[in-house]
Amino acid sequence: MAVTIAGFAAVRGPFNLYVRPHFAAAMHTVFAFTPAGGGLRIGGNLNPGNWTISTTVENAAGKVFPNLTHGFDFQSSANGSTTLVGAGVCPNKIVSLSGRKHTGMSKAAIQCINSFHLHELVSYQPISKYWSFQSYELASYATLSLILGTFSVWWIRRR
């Protein structure tokens, strides 16, 4: 049984990493960072059932900001300037919010983020392709099983 599980894992892992993403061309969409509810809305209205392959944040020039895919982090310096970590120095000054009740992001923080002209690129497979992907996988595993079964019969008869 352990050999069967190890064999299944040895086939399934590479299959998921290298074969499955190429069953069908991925769809791509771009979302702007838009003000919403005292903060920024990142992303759009993708169906949560979609299979997200990759998400990147870029500026208008195409420079990728890998540190910004999971949120924003601001850092204040001694000279009063503020840096959006991973992107650069903000053109405006962001007043510290410590000691005050705060919900969402300040307008200055939103202005800083917007000054970098950031947008999010998402590559995904829509949920509508789920069953066709399942059919491709079933056919792949059935073919592999048939090949292994045929080899086993040949191996046993040869001895």
Segment 112-149, tens digit of pLDDT:
888 888 888 888 889 998 899 889 888 988 998 899 89
Q: What is the rounded distance in angstroms from the CA atom of residue 41 to the CA atom of residue 96?
A: 22
Buried b / exposed e over 88-126, threshold 16 CB at 10 Å, is eebeeebeeeeeeeeeebbebbbebbeebebebebbbbe
Residue type, 71: G
Tokens (6 digits) for 28:
């791509």
Residue partners of 140: CB distance under 8 A and separation at least 6: 15, 19
pLDDT at 146: 93
Segment 87-113, tens digit of pLDDT:
888 887 776 544 444 445 677 777 888
Taking the mean position of all CA atoms in its chain, how far away is CA 4?
32
Would the pLDDT of 38 be above 70?
A: no
pLDDT at 99: 42
pTM: 0.66
Taking the mean position of all CA atoms in its chain, how far away is CA 17?
14
